[in-house]
Amino acid sequence: MLRKLVAGNWKMHGLSGDLDEIRQIADQSRAYPAVDVALCVPAILIERAARSVPGFAIGGQDVHYAEKGAHTGCESAVMLLDAGASLTIVGHSERREAQRETDQLVKEKAQAALAAGLGVILCIGESLDVREQGAAVQTVLAQLDGSLPDSIGGEAELAIAYEPIWAIGTGKVPTVSEIAEMHAAIRRRLDDRFGADGRKVRILYGGSVKPSNAAEIFSIADVNGALVGGASLKAADFIPIVAAAS
Ligand code: PEP
């Protein structure tokens, strides 16, 4: 049985004044030692957040595939680690859309992060059109195939976040059977591709997870945690989700 991972994605939210909220989330998470908890914050906040909550997992939201060089505005895995991050999100749908990130680019980012020793939460998910056409599973598996690193099993851990685009920030959530079907398909694909190493990869659900629906989502087979956006910004919303995972 895999330990559950509940990771918050703060997106473009968070100023110095919010460090106190991060401290509260870290402190209150200690009451749930059976759950791994992380917060992925804006790059500029990583170092201050990591310093203010020693021992708590702070992550980035993106990473460049190169170690260093002429890449204005980007951060490498080594830089994130140096700032105190222990993981990063890659391939979030907001970046795939707005920054036109391809599966190949996401794969390169994931590989670079894992090779440097940075944990990865790799996001995949279908649009509403695709879901309505009945092509959600095949589309998400194709995205997974194109985005997965060639090999896993090193020190740094890979997790997959299944995030239907139409459920992110909308309050809409797939049915229990839709989540179960997708997570089972992802689990089989990881098993086929990586064998025993694939069975250690946690599959998170993401998209409008809230205190009110978290327990039901965590009870679904092959849901090994959650990636949480809006409800991760306040300890009052996020900690009940951590508690539901416990
Ligand atoms: C996300 O952006 O990863 C996400 C799941 O957002 P929300 O929880 O707000 O839907």
Instruction: Convert 173-226 into a string of H (helix), E (strand) and C (coil).
Output: CCCHHHHHHHHHHHHHHHHHHHCHHHHCCEEEEECCCCHHHHHHHHCCCCCCEE
Q: Ligand 1, atom 8: nearest CA belongs to which residue?
A: 229
| DSSP structure string for 95-144 | HHHHT---HHHHHHHHHHHHHHT-EEEEEE---HHHHHTT-HHHHHHHHH
Mean pLDDT calculated for residue range 35-60:
98
Rounded mean pLDDT, 203-228:
98
pLDDT score at 104: 98
Q: Which of 39, 122, 163, 173 to mutate to test the pocket of ligand 1 (most atoms within 8 A of CB)?
A: 163
Strands 158-162 and 202-206: parallel
Establish whether residue 108 lines the binding site of ligand 1, counting it when its CB lies within 6 angstroms of any ligand atom.
no
- Asked if the model's pLDDT at residue 237 lies above 90, the reply is yes
Contacts for 165 with CB less than 8 Å, ≥ 6 apart: 93, 97, 125, 126, 127, 128
Q: What pLDDT does 55 receive?
A: 96
**How far is the centre of ligand 1, averaged over its atoms, from the C-alpha of 213 (Å)?**
14
- The pLDDT value given to residue 53: 98
Q: Give the pLDDT band of residue 92 (cuts 50, 70, 90).
A: very high
How much is the average pLDDT of 9-36? 98
**Average predicted confidence (pLDDT) for the chain:** 97
Looking at residue 1, its pLDDT comes to: 86
Active site residue: 21, 92, 101, 108, which one?
92
Per-residue pLDDT tens over the stretch 148-173: 999 998 899 999 999 999 999 999 99
Q: Which atom of ligand 1 is nearest to the CA of 168?
A: 10
Residues in Cβ contact with 139 at an 8 Å cutoff, skipping those fewer than 6 apart: 126, 130
CA distances for 95 relative to 59, 61, 90, 103, 138, angstroms: 16, 10, 9, 11, 21
pTM score, whole prediction:
0.98
